Amino acid sequence: MTRVLIDTDAGVDDTLAIVYAASSPEIELEMVTTVSGNVPVREVTQNVLYLKEILKLGVPVHSGADVPRARKLVTAPEVHGEDGVGGFRNSNHVPPVSWETKDAAKKIVSAAIDHGPKLTIVSLGPMTNLADAVAIDAEAIRHVQRIIQMGGVFTGYGNTTEFTEFNIYVDPEAADFVLSNGIKVKFVPLDLTERLFFPRPILEDMVRKSRTKNPQLARLLKKALRYYINYHRRTEKIDGCFLHDPIAVAAAVNPRWFKFVDSLVSIETKGDYTSGMTIADFRKRQRSCNSEIAVAFDAKNFVRDFTRKVFGALLHQDVIKRDCITARSTTTFDITLN
């Protein structure tokens, strides 16, 4: 069994990812650490502690970095709500839990030392905590089994600027620091996660069915997903949402569902238009590869596993093929020869 440490900036899809991880007997959830990203770290930590309560999780939670390593924090309340879960905690007056620890990086290092090649780190937010852990003990981090990062975009369009994915955009210096210190990262990028789309009617039906399994969780997911989907409606005219972070967790739950290719990835930190851009050369396999990039995965088995564990319901294979597999906006070039 794989021990998993989740580092998160818990917004809506992070919440689904944590529920998925906690419901997967294939892995042992060792710890959750929090970082500023979708919302400030104080809100992230409260979200994780609330999840810990309603899921009855016995895992430690440690808060971490409240700002990126070298720039001002950018958050996404328009996507996830001011509290990170679509306003659920604020509108339901969920009392805050006193939580003062800010030792996430040290705890990540301790877990790496204790468990070494039996530990998988799944990073669902900016890589600030991970970079801070590398600064403390790079050798310990190098020896974990794998580091999975939901982040980057390599061949398509970004979700923050035209060229950048949010997690890397928020703290590109952190991502660059990790890769520059010989830490190999397995990227699960937007190119892959945005191929799987969950329509609103399907998600609403799943949430309704989950009420008997965990009423508190169902109420949280109903509010959070409604907010998240409304954002996609306003900005992209699509009636549903993507599951970026649960797909990254799936790479720890069942690595056989994924195809990764080696690459040498660089992080742009200076550009006026490209800061946070992830750059990979797919033309050849570099001897000095610092990353692996997920280029394909078994969406059918993931969706069946995810919906069963999170909602207690299954989607039929035909529904998945018809409604959930999508192609994002790209431009096709062609030439003619007269």
Q: Which residues are catalytic?
A: 244
Torsional class of 329: left (φ above 0), alpha (ψ -120 to 50), beta (otherwise): beta
Amino acid (1-letter code) at residue 89: R
Torsion sign over Cα 43, 60, 255, 294: positive
Q: Under DSSP, is residue 207 helix (H, G, I), strand (E, B) or coil?
A: helix
Contact 131, 166 (CB under 8 A): no
What single-letter DSSP state applies at residue 212? G
Long-range pairs of 114-118 with CB within 8 A, sequence gap ≥ 24: 115/3, 115/30, 115/144, 116/140, 116/143, 116/144, 116/145, 117/143, 117/144, 117/145, 118/2, 118/3, 118/145
Spatial neighbors of 89 by CB under 8 A, at least 6 apart, are 46, 47, 50, 83
